[in-house]
């Protein structure tokens, strides 16, 4: 400011002019923004709905109790169930990315190994969250209510369909607490080169923290009958 005032008083000519311009790596289309969000939502619903409801149903029908009387160990049953969800998640992701590429010409811009790591971390986090919901749900009706309470806020407030910058400031602490916010942000950065809401290491750390927390609580609270 002082330099500009001095220049005007002295009448010196302007030799250099600063021009600011926001630069993105590439111009994003709506589908470029939406596809990573749809992938993140699919993993979230696979974990919350696809894990919690079957487990609650098996417990209410006493299937889990009868399984405990068989030679099948509980750890083997749980590991098989988690592996099944991960395989289903893999198929979902492949189909979504394939449709995005063939129909909408959305190509992956970033490191595919890094993308695979975040997809696996996100799927594991939401599967663990689904087990936690199943652990604290006494009945199927209660499980339906709890999964809806988990699903809808994350689906509409985590920024997977529209930028979180347009949300009211008082909602930001809620947005920042949701694991889907960090998964969607990481997938957008890697898949389409979108601007970062958080650094990738922070996204991984938050998802990992949610994973560890949900696993610990599920182990402590899970009931077989």
Q: Spell out the per-residue pLDDT of the chain, length 225, in tens.
A: 888 888 888 888 877 777 776 555 556 788 988 999 999 999 999 999 999 999 999 999 998 888 878 888 888 988 999 999 999 999 999 999 999 999 999 888 889 999 999 999 999 999 999 999 999 998 989 999 999 999 999 998 998 988 888 888 898 899 999 999 999 999 999 998 888 899 999 999 999 999 999 999 999 998 888
Q: Exposed e or buried b for every residue in 9-48, given b needs 16+ CB within 10 A?
A: eeeeeeeeeeeeeeeeeeeeeeebbbbbbbbbbbbbbbbb
pLDDT at 21: 65
Q: Please name the helix (run of DSSP H) or strand (run of DSSP E) that holds residue 37, with its range, or none.
A: helix 30-60
Q: Are 39 and 97 in contact (CB under 8 A)?
A: yes
pLDDT at 114: 96
pLDDT at 162: 84
CA angle 49/95/113 to nearest 5° reads: 95
Q: Are 129 and 216 in contact (CB under 8 A)?
A: no
d(CA 35, CA 71): 44
pLDDT at 3: 82
What 8-state DSSP symbol labels residue 11?
Answer: T
d(CA 153, CA 176): 12
Q: Are 24 and 188 in contact (CB under 8 A)?
A: no
pLDDT at 8: 83
d(CA 128, CA 174): 20
pLDDT at 23: 55
């Amino acid at each position: 400011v002082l330099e500009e005032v001095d220049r005007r008083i002295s009448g010196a000519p302007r030799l250099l002019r600063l021009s600011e311009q926001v630069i993105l790596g590439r111009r994003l289309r709506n589908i470029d923004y939406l596809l990573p969000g749809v992938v993140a939502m699919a993993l979230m619903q696979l974990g919350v709905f696809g894990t919690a409801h079957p487990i609650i149903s098996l417990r209410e029908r006493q299937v889990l109790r009868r399984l405990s009387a068989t030679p099948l160990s509980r750890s083997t049953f749980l590991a098989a169930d988690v592996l099944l969800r991960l395989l289903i998640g893999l198929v979902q992701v492949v189909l979504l990315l394939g449709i995005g590429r063939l129909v909408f010409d959305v190509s992956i811009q970033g490191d595919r190994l890094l993308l695979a790591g975040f997809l696996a971390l996100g799927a594991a986090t939401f599967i663990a969250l689904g087990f936690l919901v199943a652990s604290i749900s006494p009945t199927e009706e209660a499980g339906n209510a709890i999964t809806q309470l988990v699903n809808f806020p994350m689906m509409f407030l985590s920024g997977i369909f529209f930028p979180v910058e347009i949300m009211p400031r008082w909602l930001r602490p809620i947005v920042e607490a949701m694991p889907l916010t960090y998964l969607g942000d990481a997938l957008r950065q890697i898949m389409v080169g979108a601007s970062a809401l958080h650094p990738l290491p922070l996204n991984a750390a938050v998802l990992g923290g949610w994973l560890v927390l949900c696993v610990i609580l599920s182990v402590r609270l899970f009931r077989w009958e």
